[in-house]
């Protein structure tokens, strides 16, 4: 990799580079059906979604799911999602933005809360892995925050990437929390799991396109 220490973007995957809203909503509703819950619309999902994910279910159920309920819902969600993600693609313009950022001499990586063993071949399927210094998915149980995973991710890039010149681009307020946790900045994108209203409470720039996100990242990392 070599020393870089210039502007660096840590990209989120689901709902950011990977436009998988339909698969996410379908998987969520499949999980809800296991407990006899009513299906949810994309608009309601985006208004209420939060991490840790059991808190999201609490907002909908009026209580936290039991451990047994969570285990069932989590298994159904991931099984359904794996079946339906094949119909999803990269967010419009993402491939060109990745290539442009790299050709400008900047570095980038992916940190996702999607399981690492599933994430890596999915990124490879789109032929974009060469743009990234590192691709990391979640290890361990699902449902938690990204902050500790961000510590691990940037720790692996220590000496190559400077957190002070790093910008996290994601679609969830938790991406901003994770960025602050490691001394990085964040830009949040409205095309994924959160509504603009819910993102604006994070206290970071909120944009409607990935092109705007990259422009903001360049400004913040200057």
The rounded distance, in Å, linking the Cα atoms of 179 and 171 is: 13
Answer with the residue of higher pLDDT: 2 or 137.
137
Residue 18 pairs with which residues in a beta bridge?
A: 14, 90
pLDDT interval class at 5 (50, 70, 90) = low
Residue 4 reports pLDDT greater than 70:
no
The rounded distance, in Å, linking the Cα atoms of 169 and 186 is: 6
List pLDDT tens digits, range 47-79: 898 878 888 889 988 999 999 999 999 999 999
Specify the length of the chain in residues.
Answer: 222
Q: What percent of the chain has pLDDT over 70?
A: 97
Name the residue among 175, 129, 174, 184 with its Cα closest to residue 154.
184
What 3-state DSSP class applies to 90?
A: strand
């Amino acid at each position: 990799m070599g020393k870089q220490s210039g502007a660096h973007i840590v990209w989120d995957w689901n709902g950011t580079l990977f436009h998988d809203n339909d698969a996410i909503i379908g998987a969520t509703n499949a999980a809800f059906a296991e407990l006899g819950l009513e299906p949810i619309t994309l608009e309601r999902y985006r208004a209420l979604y939060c991490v840790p994910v059991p808190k999201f279910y609490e907002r909908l159920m009026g209580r936290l799911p039991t451990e047994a309920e969570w285990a069932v819902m989590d298994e159904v969600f991931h099984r359904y999602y794996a079946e339906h993600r094949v119909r999803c693609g990269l967010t419009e313009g993402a491939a060109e933005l990745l290539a442009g950022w790299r050709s400008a001499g900047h570095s980038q990586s992916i940190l996702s809360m999607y399981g690492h063993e599933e994430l890596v071949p999915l990124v490879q399927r789109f032929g974009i892995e060469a743009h990234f210094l590192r691709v990391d998915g979640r290890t361990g149980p699902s449902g938690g925050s990204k902050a500790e995973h961000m510590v691990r991710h940037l720790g692996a890039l220590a000496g190559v990437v400077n957190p002070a010149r790093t910008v996290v681009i994601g679609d969830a307020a938790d991406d901003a929390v994770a960025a602050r946790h490691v001394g990085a900045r964040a830009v949040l994108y409205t095309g994924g799991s959160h509504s603009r209203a819910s993102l604006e409470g994070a206290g970071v720039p909120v944009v409607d396109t990935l092109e705007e996100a990259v422009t903001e990242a360049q400004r913040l990392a200057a």
